[in-house]
Structure formats: structure tokens, C-alpha cells
Structure 1
């Protein structure tokens, strides 16, 4: 087994869905197969909207574990790496910070960037480099209400993950909750309510669209920020979301007292960044397997 970097972007010509699969040509088959059973990091390049674009973050942004590698039956010479355990970082990690390069292979002896190495979409990664990137990605400043809860005075302390130790369910739930809240600005996607308690803690919750128990990933695109009551309705399939991000309400089973809280066809409040919007595949799963329907 060996760790690796998978380069991907929203405008990729390949059939990528980072939380689920990575699509690649035979050129990278050896590196991808070596990563089966091990961890990979996702990297967003500088060009994400065409050959002349330069708006990409040039940063590592998520972690996942390669489950298997299989041929793409529809496109000869291409393959899929199926992944599990996907989780976005707390912050994107730039490929270099000053003179330091997280991937030593991207730095030439003269200190300049090795563009040839950068051109490889799948790159092998040492354990030490992997650990350093993961630690940087999951380092964050604690919120004021978190400091208060821990009995810590100002200035805020910094939380740092321990690589390959912190990928527990508790760690993942906490990271998912924070990422979804941040994406939705602590505001309920259905009601538009933004409630912050006296200690500064947001009351909105993070709901998985496709449940974790049914292989739903801990991705912002598989999440919705919802108040507690709306979360309860969503998890029980009494409400759902259509392909146009409008609310669906079951015709039966909805408590009468809640009928005024949720209204059919109400537009969903979405994150400001489109790459964080609910992914169609997760919304479709919820409609087909969780939602109690309109009949």
C-alpha cells in the first residue's frame, strides 16, 4: 500500500465525484492500485475552469481511503478508484508555504516549482508528507464558545488533529457539523433561521442527506444545515428536496402543528459557494429511499 495525491476540480473532464470515485487514465494505474487500502489526499489545481483559468486554490482540501480500482467499461483505457471515508479539511492547505513544499517532489533543487511533477494528476506521497498535510488541514482556531466550554480564556487556542489517529466517528461527526454550519453561515436551509445562543454557539444542526448508515459521506455536499425540528422531519422522510432545490412535503404523517413551519416548493437556502450545494445524487437517494412521498 502507498499513499497518493488525486488531483481533481469541479470542471474536470473526468467522471469524478470525489466522495465516491476518482476517474483516471491508464497512465496512473500503478499509483492508484498501490493506494488501495490506504489514504489519499485530494488536490485542487490552479486551472479549474479551462486551460487559461487561474482561480483554483492550488491546495489540498480533503482526505479519503481507496477501496478498490476497477476498469471503466464505457471508456477503454480508463479506470475508477472507489473511495470511502471522505472528509474535507478544516482549511485548504496550499502546496507550499514560503520555501517549504509539502510534497518534496514538487520543488526543484534551485527552489523553484517542478512544473513537470505538478503535471501528474496522481502522485505518490510519503507517510511523513501525508501526516504533515493532514495535520495542517485539520488545524483550526477554536470558536469563542468552544473555549468557554473548555474553560479556556482568550486568546483562543488552536486545535490540531493527530494524523491517522483522529479519523474516529466522533472526530468525523464534529468536523462534518462544523463544515456544514460554516457553509450555510449557521442558518437553517429550510426556515432561514439563524439562532446563536448567549455563549455564541450556533443552534443549527448538520444533517446528512444520505445517511452515514447507508454509506453517505461526511461531505458538505451531503449535508444540510437545519434547525432541530426540521432535522427531525428530514431524517424521518416527512420532508425532502427536489432536483431544483425546492422543498417537498409528505402528504401524510406530518404533525399538524408543523404544517406552518415547512411549505412545499419553498426554495432551499444554499451556500454562497456553488461547490458546496447539495449534490443531486444524495438528494435523489433521500427522495427514493427516505422520503415518505407525496401520495
Structure 2
């Protein structure tokens, strides 16, 4: 693929959504017949609505620029890349050729991740990303979108474009802010600083929590050294890792680094990148993402240490991100009744843990850290917020890790909701169990009929199906 990168893609024959179907037939013809350019022109006129030789040549030039075709004199043939695509017609192969040849494809995917867009809005996104284009061709975004439709990444309805499931997966992978690292490869510190866009100082510490611009924890880098002082036992996919604090300083303390890993033992909220440094190397070998499955403060070699049990996740950072975000995605149309539980085969054990870990974070964020029932956000002297994420249809019954199956509640009202003192009507009013004979009834009775404090985003509010199932479990009559 020679030449400069293009600003605008060239539409193909067959209409938006059918480009690849016609392209596959054309490539098959070129491969089997080895035609002249004149023969290709006649084939396209016979098999499509093409009538203009100049229009056909313009499209052949575009395919040549993608690296699919090669025109040598009067003959047309498939390139190695063309044969590779034709052998499986893998949309990912053609997308890579398109995005590396034409500006704007990744920009469109990123824009559609934020929600459906018209062609004009997609054009605005590209113009904003590439202000030097001086893009005044209003057909440009439609030509980009036509290829994305044909590849199965975008669907169009009433003039509005949306990502398909396959397109959303690609968009997350292509627009992810996470570094591109290959498991098993060695990286110098400068390589990792470039990849993570950060400085680690004079050396990379054993545990390096990194924060985003808003001050929230973004990811953690963990490094084990073959000749390190902590006796880390790296064996197989599950291993022991000793926390921060050298033996000369006695018992390990709850430093920020140790605390960050302790938090991940409670729930996996951010990616944890694991590296291993052999004794004879300054470079670090990337071992992939790990999950902190357990943490203990134990006596070891005459001192107290934080002992973390870690397990390889076998996930890419973008997959981790997608699983976490899936907790807050919409589930069904308003009139549908979503299943109360996830399909048993829908997620692996690792994927379930990531989603389960994301559930408290997404639910409490949806309610802005306030109890849905009392509206309060109590804080301990140490700064801990007393707000918890409750499953409406319970987790012990395999209730789904979806924001719409969650309520942010203070500790008291979480207990009261889980034990059946409290329930919620379909119009989001508090219901109280009719048990005046029990201690605590008077306190809870005062809440009867109160409206919940709800997320501003209607798509993140409790779904009626989960609320009804909770009422049924605890013997409340449907209001």
C-alpha cells in the first residue's frame, strides 16, 4: 500500500451494506480468470449497475491502494493480501486495510461507542479529530459508513447509525486507551513508559498503582524479580506474591501500594498488569493480566507480610473493560421481561468475577453514592462511604450483575431490603412488611410510600421485572 493516507474512502458497487459481497465476487473472478483491465470493466458492467469506465477505474485504484489488487500493465491480479482476505473473507482483515489506508474509521467507531449518530454527526466527529482535512465533501461519512455496514460493524435505521455487537467489540479494542502489550515479550522501562504514557522514575517498583486524570485508580503494575527480596513464588497460573516492604524494615505496613492490591482482592475494579524480571536482565517480561483472588496478613520468616494470591486472567485489557462496562449496558426494551439470571454458559468463571466486581462500582456511581431509600451518604471518620450495592434479585440465586438489578443502599437499608423488611413498587415507592409485632417495625413503617432517590439516567434505574421478583420472594402483594 503505497502513497499517502486518504481522507475519504471510495464507495463500491452494490450499495451500502453490500460492498463486500460484490467485492468477494470480483476477487474470485480476478483470481480464477486472470483478466485484463478491459475484461474487469466489462465484468463489473455485467454484474453491477456500473456504467462509467472512469467510475470503475476510480474504484479499482482504491482497491489497489488498499492492497487487494495489483494492476500490471493491462492485467489485473490479486495480491497476497487480496488472497488472504478472499480465503476467509474475514471482516477484520479488510477493516485493517481500510483503517490503515483511510483516515477516520477508528474515529467513527469511537463516536458510535458514545451512542447512535447520523452521517452528518459522524462527519463532525472526523472533522474534529482531523481539523486539517478541510472536509467539505458531505458524502464522505456515508462512504465510510457504507464500508462499515458491509463489514457487519454498523447497522442503519431511519437515517441513524449504530454499532452491532461485533462492531462494539471492535470499537472497544481499537479505541481502548490501554497499552498494546504482547504476553511473553520483554520490554525495557522506556518501552513501558511509552506504552503507558507515564514516568516510573528511576525504576519500576514492585507494586505501582497509577491514577487517571480524575484521581481515580486506573490500573496497577506488579513486578516480580527472580532475585528479589520477597520470595515471590511464581509457578503456573496461580501464585503467591508478597507485598511492599523490605525485610530490613520489619513488618510490612499498609502502604498505598499494598492497599491498592487489597482493594483488588475485594473486587477487581481495574486491570492489574503482571511483569517478571529475570536475574540476568534489566528488561521485564509481560505475563498478562492477573486477578488478586485472596489477600492475607501473615507471619513469614519472622515478620508480618501482606501475602497476595494471584491468578492469570487470560483476558486482554479491552476484554476486561468490556466485561466491566457490560454491567451498566441496557438489557431489554421497556416492555420486555428480561431473565432474572444470566445464562449459565454466557460467561466463564473469570468473566463472572470481573462483572461481579464491577457491579458495586457501577451501581454506587449510578446513584451518586446516595442511599436510594433514605437519600443519605454517611461517611466514617476514616473517609469510607457507607453505601453498598444490593442485588434486587439476589446474587445467591444467580441474580444478574446488571445496574438495572441493583440499588445503592446504606448498610441498614441494605439489610432491611435483603431480609424482606422493605421492597419497592413498580413506580419506585418504598413498601414495608406488615409486621407490627416485630422490633424495628415502627422505624421502617415511617418509610412507607416514600419515593426512591433514582439515577438521573433512566436506563440505569431498577427494572420492573427484578422489583416484582423481589416482592414475590418476600411475600409482598403486587401494588
- TM-score normalized by structure 2? 0.34
For 1:39-58, list aligned pairs within 5 A.
45-47=115-117
Q: Which has the higher contact order (CA 8 A, sep 6+)?
A: 1
- Determine the C-alpha separation between the residues in 2 that align with 1:113 and 1:254: 71
Contact 1:238/1:292 (8 A) holds in 2? no
Deviation of residue 225 (structure 1)? Answer: 0.5
Q: Does 2:192 match 1:122?
A: no
Of 240, 264, 271, the match for 2:455: 271
In structure 2, the partner of 1:205 is 388
Q: Does 2:234 match 1:234?
A: no
For 1:78-227, list aligned pairs within 5 A.
114-116=144-146, 117-118=148-149, 119-120=154-155, 122=164, 124=166, 141=212, 143=216, 151-152=256-257, 159-160=270-271, 162=289, 163=316, 167-227=350-410
Q: Which of 1 and 2 has greater Rg?
A: 2
- Determine the C-alpha separation between the residues in 2 that align with 1:210 and 1:279: 10
Greater helix proportion: 2
Contact 1:140/1:159 (8 A) holds in 2? no
Deviation of residue 219 (structure 1)? Answer: 1.3
In structure 2, the partner of 1:31 is none
Listed one character per residue, the Cα deviations across residues 181-215 of structure 1 (whole Å, up to 9, x for unaligned) are 11111110001111123343321000011123334
Deviation of residue 150 (structure 1)? Answer: 5.6
Gap runs ≥5 in structure 1: 1-41, 57-93, 100-109
Listed one character per residue, the Cα deviations across residues 112-165 of structure 1 (whole Å, up to 9, x for unaligned) are 9721225435364699876566785xx974648x99976149xxxx94364367
RMSD between aligned residues? 4.7
Deviation of residue 257 (structure 1)? Answer: 2.7
Greater strand proportion: 1
- TM-score normalized by structure 1? 0.51
Q: Does 2:468 match 1:284?
A: yes
- Determine the C-alpha separation between the residues in 2 that align with 1:214 and 1:255: 27
Change (3 A) 1:114 1:241: same
Q: Secondary structure at the match of 2:389?
A: strand
Change (3 A) 1:128 1:293: closer
